[in-house]
Amino acid sequence: MWRAAHIAMATMLSVVIWRALHQQWATDNSSDALVAGAISVALPLASAGASILAIAAGWTIRRPERLFAHDGLSLAAFLVCVLVLSLGPLPRDAAGIFFVLAIAARFAPTIFAIATSDAPGWLVAAASFGVYASLMAWLQVSSLLHGDEAHYVMAADLIGRGSVDAGRAYANSALFHSLAGIDISPADIEAHVIQAPAGERLVQGYALPALLVPGWLLAGRMGEHLTIALIAALASWQLYELLHEAPPSRPMGGGVWAAAAFLPPFLPMATHVYQNGLGALAIVAGYRLAFTAARRRFLLAGLALGSTLFLTPRDGLALVALAPFVLWYRRDGLLRFTVGVAAMFALASAVDAVLYGTPLPYAGYLESMTAAAAPGRVSSLTFLFWYGLPAMLFDRTFGLAGTAPWLFIAALGVAPALRSARRTLVPAGAAIGTTLLALSLFRYWEGGYAPPGRYFVEVVPLAAPFVVFGLAAARAWPLRMFAGATLAMSAFAGLVISAVPTRALNTAGDGRIQDVYDAVLALNPLGWLPNFQPLQPDWYVGAYLRTLVAVVGVVALVWIGRRRTAGS
């Protein structure tokens, strides 16, 4: 009965919403035709898809009456957002806020049901894809491609035309202008194209562009964004499985999955065209298969982690960090793991021998580093870890503390995690530490012209179990307030980044998201953090004094978690 009533309600209201959003006000109240199209097409499709998922969740999780009630409430919240959009013309940024809130309201029942139950993998992936694809629709009308994004798409277009010669790709200047909104400069080409023995090639490799080709050929920019959303949805599913396998899986694991999948820094990488989501998928899948799955599959783990050899050296850091722990903890699977990694190494070397003329993985990066060593060129490595590491962690705009403070709940969970799940989570901690230390040596610690925290995305799934332990340790009300505040601030940052993507880009100068805090709250709760940005840095003494305060806070969280572990 409940399922039938839910289907009837969803069908009726989907028709009502479609008719409401196709009235003249959708065009009259929009800043341009693209915004009007997103409101009149993407919103009703997303709403209908969310109801289908809620019905499926009620069918699968076997609580149809609860899903019926929650979906009805979410439809009411959605209609409130539609009402605001219909009242009068709104600037694009303001319309984006209500667009994202409407999407969040519609998918909330399914996400909540998944987070509080044992859901099948297909439902987790479908719900994640629904959210990412819906947000992608707004990204298409609110932002052009930036940083490496346009170059990946240019390479995908080139492969689709049967070539890998990067020089031919950039001869199509009109395509680059349509993607990025600017003309390509010689400096931009120099940063992304190297002269390899086999010819002009893309520095970042061709793995992601090759995956983008089908979507690009079928649906252009929308198709390649949907491909990224699908990759991120698969990573979200693997994260959900990891949190069910790594103790303690209940009751906090589902909530941490939702935070990791739908908050920064992972959320922007589920819509923007970067390799980070693909790297996260390979790493979390390989980690599960080697360390947490009920049935270890070491050959597949080796293949999954070995696939990072097709991506970037920072993805390969996880393989380097995790391989010794297979020897240490899982000697029974070492041979199969090694065979898997060796097979991927041989395949990556063969592919790069053909593409670049250099029979080694990461050939593009190796050629780029060789070119950067020439007189007059600037290396991407600085080895200034005392600058890069605190910047990656604590910079108030582009560090983790500035946009994803929820991850610092993990500090509270380090001691209890390593005490009660050492064999499961020590490798994860090693991979996270290796990634942070190695990336702190790079000049562009902020991740280039991209949303903040991009370089940490690959290991966010490995940090999630520590957050679960941190929430379990936060029994006193001050710790619960800290956890709640960091989650709320991260959700706020995710809302701003999704609705107004340009506020997250690092060429905007200091305080883009921080300005929103000032405008909304009249008091920036993160304004005390240091600023390490090259364009407008703090006085270095002041920056390191602020960093010291943040470090003391993190150490205090670790100490509190250790005390609670010792006392339990």
pLDDT tens digits, one per residue of 439-486: 888 877 887 778 888 999 999 999 999 999 999 998 889 999 999 999
Mean pLDDT score, 378-390: 80
SS3 of residue 63 by DSSP: coil
SS3 of residue 196 by DSSP: strand
pLDDT at 320: 94
pLDDT at 568: 53
Name the band, by pLDDT with cuts 50, 70 and 90, for residue 260: very high
3-class SS string, 200-231: EEECCCCHHHHHHHHHHHHHHHHHHHHHHHHH
Residue 132 has pLDDT above 60, yes or no: yes
Q: Is there a contact between 529 and 551 (Cβ–Cβ < 8 Å)?
A: no
Question: Residue 205 — φ and ψ, nearest 5°?
Answer: 90, 180
Residues constituting the chain:
568
Q: What is the mean pLDDT of the chain?
A: 89
| Cα 103 from Cα 74, distance rounded (Å) | 10
Residue 390's alpha-carbon distances to 55, 95, 264, 549, in angstroms, are 46, 35, 18, 12
Mean pLDDT score, 94-112: 96
Residue 508 has pLDDT above 50, yes or no: no
| Structure tokens that stand for 175 in this block | 């395509």
Residue 371 has pLDDT above 90, yes or no: no
Residue 341 has pLDDT above 80, yes or no: yes
pLDDT at 566: 55
329 vs 22, higher pLDDT:
22
CA-closest candidate to residue 483, choices 561, 412, 396, 554: 412
| Cα 130 from Cα 182, distance rounded (Å) | 31
Tell me which residue has tokens 């108030």.
396
CA-closest candidate to residue 298, choices 336, 341, 326, 330: 336
- DSSP structural state of residue 525: T
Q: Is there a contact between 242 and 254 (Cβ–Cβ < 8 Å)?
A: no
Q: Is there a contact between 533 and 510 (Cβ–Cβ < 8 Å)?
A: yes
Residue 136 has pLDDT above 50, yes or no: yes
Residue 534 has pLDDT above 80, yes or no: no
Cβ atoms within 10 Å of 174's Cβ, excluding its own:
9
Name the band, by pLDDT with cuts 50, 70 and 90, for residue 157: very high
pLDDT at 432: 96
pLDDT at 535: 65
Degrees, nearest 5: CA angle 74-75-80: 95
SS3 of residue 332 by DSSP: helix
Mean pLDDT score, 19-41: 87
Q: Is there a contact between 129 and 233 (Cβ–Cβ < 8 Å)?
A: yes
Q: What is the CA radius of gyration of the chain?
A: 23
pLDDT, tens only, 281-315: 999 999 999 999 878 899 999 999 999 999 999 89
pLDDT at 372: 56
Residue 218 has pLDDT above 50, yes or no: yes
Residue 355 has pLDDT above 90, yes or no: yes
Lowest mean pLDDT segment, chosen from 154-163, 344-353, 499-508 = 499-508
| Cα 177 from Cα 437, distance rounded (Å) | 37
Lowest mean pLDDT segment, chosen from 214-228, 314-328, 517-531 = 517-531
pLDDT, tens only, 519-528: 777 778 888 8
Residue 512 has pLDDT above 80, yes or no: no
| Structure tokens that stand for 221 in this block | 């920019």
Mean pLDDT score, 501-514: 66
Name the band, by pLDDT with cuts 50, 70 and 90, for residue 377: low
| Cα 505 from Cα 418, distance rounded (Å) | 36
| Cα 510 from Cα 226, distance rounded (Å) | 31
pLDDT, tens only, 82-101: 999 998 788 898 999 999 99
Residue 531 has pLDDT above 90, yes or no: no
pLDDT at 294: 78
pLDDT, tens only, 416-434: 999 888 889 999 999 999 9
Name the band, by pLDDT with cuts 50, 70 and 90, for residue 369: confident
Mean pLDDT score, 24-35: 84
378 vs 232, higher pLDDT:
232
Q: Is there a contact between 397 and 531 (Cβ–Cβ < 8 Å)?
A: yes
Provide CB contacts within 8 A for 164, sequence distance 6+. 155, 158, 201, 206, 355
| C-alpha 229: how far from chain center | 10
**Percent of the chain having pLDDT more than 90?**
58
pLDDT at 510: 46
pLDDT at 518: 77
